[in-house]
Amino acid sequence: MSRNKIGIIIGSTRPGRVAEQVAKWVYDIAQQRGDADYEIVDIADYNLPIYDEPVPPSMSTEYAKEHTKKWSEKIASLDGFIFCTPEYNRATSGALKNAIDFLYYEWNNKAAAFVGWGSFLGARAVENLRIIMGELQVADVRAQVGLSLFTDFENFSVFKPGEHHTDSVNAMLDQLNAWASALKPLRSQSS
């Protein structure tokens, strides 16, 4: 069986965002494992406007817009996802929700894990994403990483995670890779 391809999705496009720091940290831990092919996927690189396809993604994969085609190709190439999400107003970022909504079939029968941050460890943003993943037929794993704006960031802008979070990341990656592998037969049936 081929190695899993896991995308570490930067879930914010805000100027001055800390999401890049968090995603790089997760990537560095993941790279030490050697159990999958990990890559950082920055939604900002895809320049996705507010959803602008004429047909809902659950009805067709024939996309009209070049930005959607590029985004579709990237997400389709991956077996699983780590969503790095800030918590904005008790939910994930609007930019991440919009990026997710551009696609449907490309997400199906894959696995997802979550790294959230905020004043309540990003827990509500992660819960928001778990509901969305269910609708997209994505299996989300139980283990997650919650980071505090008060203890894991200096001046709310420089990421300085506690060492104990490394164990949480590794537990999350163990579950994510197991599920991504387990779901491969379902993905091969639908292709």
Task: Give pTM, 2 decimals.
Answer: 0.96
What pLDDT shows up at residue 77? 98
What pLDDT shows up at residue 190? 67
What pLDDT shows up at residue 189? 80
Question: At 188, is the pLDDT very low, low, confident or very high (cuts 50, 70, 90)?
Answer: confident
Rounded to whole angstroms, how far apart are CA atoms 149 and 86? 10
Backbone angles phi, psi at 118, to 5 degrees: 165, -170
Question: At 103, is the pLDDT very low, low, confident or very high (cuts 50, 70, 90)?
Answer: very high
Give how far Cα 177 sits from Cα of 37, 74, 95, 122, 182, Å: 10, 19, 26, 22, 8
The arithmetic mean of pLDDT across residues 91-103, rounded, is 98
Please state the domain extents for the chain. 5-190
CATH 3.40.50.360 fits 5-190, yes or no: yes
